[in-house]
Amino acid sequence: MKDKLIAGLDIGTTKICVLIARIKQGEDFEILGVGTAPSQGLTKGVITDIKKTSSMIKAAVRKAEARAGLKIKRIWVSIAGGHIQGTNSQGFIKIEKEDKRITSKEVEKALEETSHIILPSDKEIIHILPQEFVINGQNEVKDPIGITGTTLGARAHVITASSNCRQDIENSVESLRYKCEGITLQCLASSMATLSPDEEDLGVALLDIGGGTTDLAVFLKKGMRFTYVLGVGGNQITNDIAVGFHTTKVKAEEMKIGYGAALPGYFKKEEGIEVEKVAERGVYRIKEKDLLGVIQPRVEEMFELVDKELKKSGYKDLITAGIVLTGGSSLLRGIKEKAEEVLGLPTRIGYTNIKDPQELANPIYATSVGLILYGIKRRKELASKAKFGVRVKKWLKDFF
């Protein structure tokens, strides 16, 4: 791997975050620069005004470059939104050569077979995430290379996205003369930065609660099994506060972050807090029960929707390691306890293991940190000819 520099760009509905890192050894890296900017021109994770989004990306990249003291050329970028869909698919090939030992070539072929899903013309595949392989129709293995068999089956979680949305992301980056090194699903990136191999094996649901969307991904036996994007996030809570108390969104956000909670017991101001009404004179006081009365039902509703989707997916009873919360809204006081109450599963907040700078441990940066980890992994895979041959590159050439 010649290029030791790697960069990630998380385009969220509320913030844009760029990380620049230097790869040290293996998957080890050091952060050289961080740049953030408020997001503009995005609705529920999807670009609706490319000019605005581009200018905020520019602001974030330039900040990260200034901190790192260098310029980058290419960058790994996140994708999310309601157009994302995940399907479990199977592929199957016969090992026809005389020597029946399975090599990376047969693995590629079997994985390629999983890509034959019904795909509307405006959709495309962005990830094929291997789950397991089946040799001779019965032996289930994680890594079939070197094993002898007459048939090889592959199971994979295939993620599709709207071609237009993917193109808009690329355009917003490339109009700034940066190359989009690859596109990565937000919750896949977040999972890489926060989940342990044991959790992914036992069964876990990652819930990235951002500003505009809540992204759900289920992992079991070390593979992604289910994905779902909910068009509700923390901004909805802010909106509810603004509407409920006739105040501005800026004030509502301050109230949420300063005093908001998903459960009683966190509001430390006996005397209540002052709220200014929009376009009206004077202020009025609100108490814990008032703010809770707005936040709690919305959070409960979000978790009820997640619960419904988890049950529908058939994985609810299989995620023994429970729930991991990431994204900015996972910082809401009492949200972990509320998730446990509604979903009935053990829950933890997904901090990353970045120590320098310490702020990147915050679950709000899970996607950005995950983009660096994902980028390092993909570069390695691509560099290793044994693992990825010409055919794989052909059908994923736009992304990797």
Ligand X SMILES: Nc1ncnc2c1ncn2[C@@H]1O[C@H](COP(=O)(O)OP(=O)(O)OP(=O)(O)O)[C@@H](O)[C@H]1O
For residue 362, the minimal CB distance to ligand X (Å) is: 9
**What is the residue whose two structure tokens read 């079939």?**
144
Residue 12 binds to Mg ion (criterion: CB under 5 A): yes
Among 212, 223, 322, 334, interactor with ligand X by CB under 6 A: 212
Torsion region of 225: left, alpha or beta (phi above 0 gives left; psi -120 to 50 gives alpha): alpha
Distances (CA, A) of 158 to 53, 88, 124, 161, 226: 28, 6, 10, 10, 10
Among 106, 124, 200, 253, interactor with ligand X by CB under 6 A: 253
The entry of ligand X, Mg ion, none near residue 45 (CB within 5 to 8 angstroms by kind) is ligand X
Q: Is 16 helix (H, G, I), strand (E, B) or coil?
A: strand
- Rounded to whole angstroms, the Cα distance separating 399 from 39 reads 23
Q: By rule CB under 6 A, what string of x and - marks binding of each residue 344-383 to ligand X?
A: --------------------x-------------------
CB-based contact 88:60 (threshold 8 Å)? no
Backbone angles phi, psi at 285, to 5 degrees: -100, 140
- Rounded to whole angstroms, the Cα distance separating 20 from 67 reads 9
Q: What does the DSSP 8-state code read for residue 7? A: E
Nearest CB to Mg ion, comparing residues 189 and 291: 189
- Rounded to whole angstroms, the Cα distance separating 9 from 204 reads 26
Cα distance from N-terminal residue to C-terminal residue, the chain: 15
Residue 191 binds to ligand X (criterion: CB under 6 A): no
Residue 81 binds to Mg ion (criterion: CB under 5 A): no
Residue 334 binds to Mg ion (criterion: CB under 5 A): no
The entry of Mg ion, ligand X, none near residue 313 (CB within 5 to 8 angstroms by kind) is none
Among 9, 13, 68, 373, interactor with ligand X by CB under 6 A: 13
What residues are paired with 87 via a beta bridge? 158
Amino acid at 254: E
Residue 144 binds to Mg ion (criterion: CB under 5 A): no
Stretch that binds Mg ion, among 6-14, 52-60, 146-154, 260-268 (CB under 5 A): 6-14
Residue 41 binds to Mg ion (criterion: CB under 5 A): no
Among 7, 8, 9, 14, interactor with ligand X by CB under 6 A: 14
Q: DSSP 3-state helix, strand, coil percentages of the chain (rounded to 5)?
A: 40, 30, 30
The entry of Mg ion, ligand X, none near residue 130 (CB within 5 to 8 angstroms by kind) is none
Residues 103-122 interacting with ligand X (rule: CB under 6 A): none
Residue 256 binds to ligand X (criterion: CB under 6 A): yes
For residue 248, the minimal CB distance to ligand X (Å) is: 14
**165 C-beta neighbours (distance < 10 Å), count:** 22
Among 35, 81, 149, 210, interactor with Mg ion by CB under 5 A: 210
Q: Which residues bind ligand X (CB under 6 A)?
A: 12-15, 39, 45, 80, 210-213, 233-235, 238, 253, 256-257, 327-329, 331-332, 364
